[in-house]
Chain A
């Protein structure tokens, strides 16, 4: 069983995703970085599930995929709304409120 390789891949994806969320200023790219983290989670879940021969991991991964799709739908709507109102999806420009 090649569990370690799967976990390392997932950890790498997770780190890239977290870096993207923290550093990127473009709304779309932040959304894509979050997706990277979620895919890292799915790899982890399926790898652990296969290792222990437990169906729970696969089921969890399916739920994650479905819910993430719903979440991204809302995210795209909010980004689109922002674009309509200010013609930009640069997050660093969204600074009407501070403190």
Chain B
């Protein structure tokens, strides 16, 4: 308790307002959005989605000025860091959020689903993700994780009177809360064995000892299990297909991209800063998770008949590819980090794009069954071409983005120059072939078969969906052609310590 008494002569730590500007901008707009509903009631509803997209575009401004400035900034004794890596991830979260707002605009308005609250919660979830990119401290990571998860539980349950949506939210909530409780228990053990919540200090304390104590091993396992739920890695993926199917489709897109990426960002912060010296414990854990996720995810995806469930299982497999570089991070930290970041950004673009097309097609067919995609080319050639790009990119066919992402992963695995890396690389290669089968099956149905009942009426695609498909398709192709590589090859994490 003496420490608490000593803390009474408290002095506010210096605050770098520029570094915190992205979070503060998002917070201010989120508050404005909520107050608009209080002040204007029904009249403000229509403007909600416009204000939400403005908020996200405005948040990009400080991110760009921070990137132009180029200095690494640290605050609060190293608990909050702005560096190259965190800016890339922040920009990705904000842009992914922008695409999700584009996807939501018509869906939420036409379904008459509490528009204002929807966008308010979406913005707070994105705020948690943006904060997560800068978090270098166990408490900050925990608060950011809950800030992004709690609104997401509500969004998954958004269609209140729909039993499937209830069930989706219930499963997501219980799994999420259980995972964060287990993760917290792991964090308490890590805190106990290092005496600090700062990741940089934890690294120093844990690396100093020779063999890891059982408390440290247990702590690392629990923390990893907690995040494995978040990124839906096998065997902690069971919530994902049900939640994806039952939740409103824009929310599914948001969960499968932004929420998964946030889990990865948290995992990378902890692994690359806090556990850099304990690769002897973390690497085997990641190896097993990665190999199991990609194999099981792909095998179950093969026999899905609903395209959303198929994408959920393909998401499990993709999480496996993204975990793979973490299995060799001790040997090649820079390459491994670059590979995961590249994969996350490209995955966000191609998966959001696939969901945008699913939503557009569902406007006509009112279903997400793969059999309803037969003959799509005959009445919606534009959507067919876009869907083919996204699916083949997910499968990893050159010259699309997904190919480049897989290339970076395998490159990191081979660079590690040891047997476990090479074996995992073979796993990635074999799984890519399996995955091609179920992605190509949809392609074949769209291009080669006849439309059911010969119904060739056009699909009415609103402007916002066209914009979403356009943005994601351009990003997917640009990465594949190597037009945007630059910073992604030399990201590094600043391990700031307050001393």
In A27-53, the 8 Å CB interface with B consists of 27, 30-31, 34, 37-38, 40-41, 44-45, 47-53
Nearest chain B residue, comparing its CB with the CB of A40: B185
Q: Give me the 8 closest cross-chain CB pairs, A-B, nearest first.
A: A48-B192, A44-B188, A37-B181, A55-B3, A52-B195, A97-B242, A41-B184, A94-B167
A8 within 8 A of B: no
Q: A44-B185, A64-B142, A67-B146 are in contact. Are A96 and B192 (CB under 8 A)?
A: no
Interface of B is mostly: helix
- B246 near A97 (CB under 8 angstroms)? yes
Using A37-B185, A91-B174 as known contacts, list a sample of 18 further A-B pairs with CB atoms less than 8 Å apart, ordered by residue number in A: A17-B181, A40-B185, A44-B185, A47-B192, A49-B3, A51-B192, A53-B3, A60-B191, A64-B184, A70-B150, A71-B146, A71-B177, A74-B173, A75-B174, A82-B166, A82-B170, A96-B164, A97-B167
Contacts of A67 in B (CB 8 A): 142-143, 146
Interface of A is mostly: helix
In the complex, which of the residues A18, A21, A96 contacts B163, with contact meaning CB atoms closer than 8 Å?
A96
**Which size class do B's interface residues fall under?**
35 or more
- A60 near B164 (CB under 8 angstroms)? no
A12 within 8 A of B: no
Contacts of B177 in A (CB 8 A): 31, 34, 71, 75
Nearest chain A residue, comparing its CB with the CB of B151: A74
Contacts of A48 in B (CB 8 A): 188, 191-192, 195
Nearest chain B residue, comparing its CB with the CB of A18: B182
Q: A34-B177, A55-B4 are in contact. Are A85 and B166 (CB under 8 A)?
A: yes
Tell me, rounded to whole Å, the shortest Cβ–Cβ distance linking A29 to chain B.
11
Q: How many residues of chain A get a CB closer than 8 Å to chain B's CBs?
A: 50
- A94 near B170 (CB under 8 angstroms)? yes
- B241 near A99 (CB under 8 angstroms)? yes
Nearest chain B residue, comparing its CB with the CB of A50: B1
- A97 near B185 (CB under 8 angstroms)? no
B 162-180 binary contact with A (CB < 8 Å = 1; else 0): 0110111111011001101
How far is B195's CA from A53's CA once the two chains are assembled, in angstroms? 9
How far is B187's CA from A12's CA once the two chains are assembled, in angstroms? 17
B2 within 8 A of A: yes
Tell me, rounded to whole Å, the shortest Cβ–Cβ distance linking A21 to chain B.
5
Q: A48-B191, A67-B143 are in contact. Are A55 and B7 (CB under 8 A)?
A: yes
A9 within 8 A of B: no
Tell me, rounded to whole Å, the shortest Cβ–Cβ distance linking A32 to chain B.
12
Tell me, rounded to whole Å, the shortest Cβ–Cβ distance linking A92 to chain B.
12
How far is B167's CA from A40's CA once the two chains are assembled, in angstroms? 28
Tell me, rounded to whole Å, the shortest Cβ–Cβ distance linking B206 to chain A.
15
Contacts of B90 in A (CB 8 A): none
B 458-471 binary contact with A (CB < 8 Å = 1; else 0): 00000000000000
Tell me, rounded to whole Å, the shortest Cβ–Cβ distance linking A20 to chain B.
10
Tell me, rounded to whole Å, the shortest Cβ–Cβ distance linking B302 to chain A.
12
Contacts of B169 in A (CB 8 A): 78, 81
How far is B139's CA from A59's CA once the two chains are assembled, in angstroms? 9
